[in-house]
């Protein structure tokens, strides 16, 4: 592939690079499926779909787009109270941890509170925007609390399925992949690359787990299967995206160490 071509995203395997990295810039449209599938089809149909602010391509982006429509008005209300975005971030984590702990009482109750915690967690960005208080530390704190929330949430799922060893192992695998999803993107961006593709990010993860816990029964096994497969797909797609960019000779803009 000539040097004049832009780096392209991988489909199911990074040996073929399909869509331009530039198409994932801030303000891209949300996709209902992974951009890897769009690349496999080789079309640009998805470019006409509703737009998302963050430009993250993920499984449930239409729902997340609607969620933004809810979070922004609520964020405006909270911003008027003078509560800091960082306080909202920590509060969201507290609700998430409390909900996860409730799994020892009732799985469905835990699922309901986890979904409530996800809404609380989502408000911090809206509050920061509305109050004009966005900060680098706020973004850092949000990322750290997200990882803690993931650990608590998937730990709760592991407890709920503790009688089936293979499901506990699946919960552990889902947690590892959740952490890798975040790490691969952060590391890629620290080197000047872009790695936002995939089918499972935190919003989808929390929605799937919360809904699965509300449903209860065998649905938790289905949830873990979706998280493991989707998480693995996302990690591989992001690794492939970075590989494609490096293959085009772009090179990292920062030292790899």
Could you read off the pLDDT tens digit of each residue along the chain, which spans 257 residues? Answer: 444 443 444 343 444 565 433 333 333 333 333 333 333 333 333 333 444 334 344 445 555 665 667 777 888 888 888 888 999 999 999 999 999 999 999 999 999 999 988 887 778 888 888 888 888 899 899 999 999 999 999 999 999 999 999 999 999 999 999 999 999 999 999 999 999 898 888 888 999 999 999 998 899 999 999 999 999 999 999 999 999 999 886 555 555 55
Half-sphere exposure of 114 (CA within 13 A, CB side): 33
Residue 253 DSSP symbol:
S
Structural domain spans, the chain = 17-247
Token digits for 92? 């969201």
Q: Is the entire prediction scored with pTM above 0.85?
A: no
In total, the chain counts a number of residues equal to 257
- Give catalytic residues, as residue numbers: 146
The span from the CA of 6 to the CA of 167, in Å, is 42
Spell out the CATH class of 17-247. Answer: mainly alpha
């Amino acid at each position: 592939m000539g040097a004049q071509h832009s780096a392209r995203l991988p489909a199911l395997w990074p040996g073929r690079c399909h869509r331009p990295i530039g198409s994932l810039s801030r303000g891209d449209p949300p996709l209902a499926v992974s951009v890897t599938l769009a690349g496999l089809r080789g079309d640009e149909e998805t470019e006409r779909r509703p737009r998302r602010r963050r430009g993250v391509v993920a499984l449930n982006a239409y729902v997340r787009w609607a969620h933004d429509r809810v979070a922004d008005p609520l964020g405006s209300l909270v911003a008027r109270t003078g509560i800091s975005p960082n306080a909202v971030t920590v509060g969201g984590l507290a609700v998430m941890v409390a909900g996860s702990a409730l799994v020892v009482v009732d799985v469905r109750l835990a699922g309901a509170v986890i979904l409530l915690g996800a809404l609380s967690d989502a408000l911090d960005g809206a509050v920061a925007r509305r109050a004009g208080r966005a900060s680098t530390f706020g973004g850092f704190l949000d990322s750290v609390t997200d990882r803690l929330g993931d650990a608590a949430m998937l730990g709760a799922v592991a407890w709920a399925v503790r009688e089936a060893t293979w499901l506990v192992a699946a919960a552990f695998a889902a947690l590892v992949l959740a952490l890798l999803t975040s790490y691969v993107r952060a590391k890629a961006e620290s080197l000047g690359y872009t790695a936002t593709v995939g089918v499972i990010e935190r919003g989808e993860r929390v929605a799937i787990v919360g809904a699965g816990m509300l449903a209860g029964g065998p649905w938790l096994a289905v949830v873990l299967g979706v998280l493991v497969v989707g998480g693995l797909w996302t990690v591989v797609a992001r690794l492939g995206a970075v590989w494609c960019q490096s293959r085009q000779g772009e090179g990292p803009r920062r030292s790899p160490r």
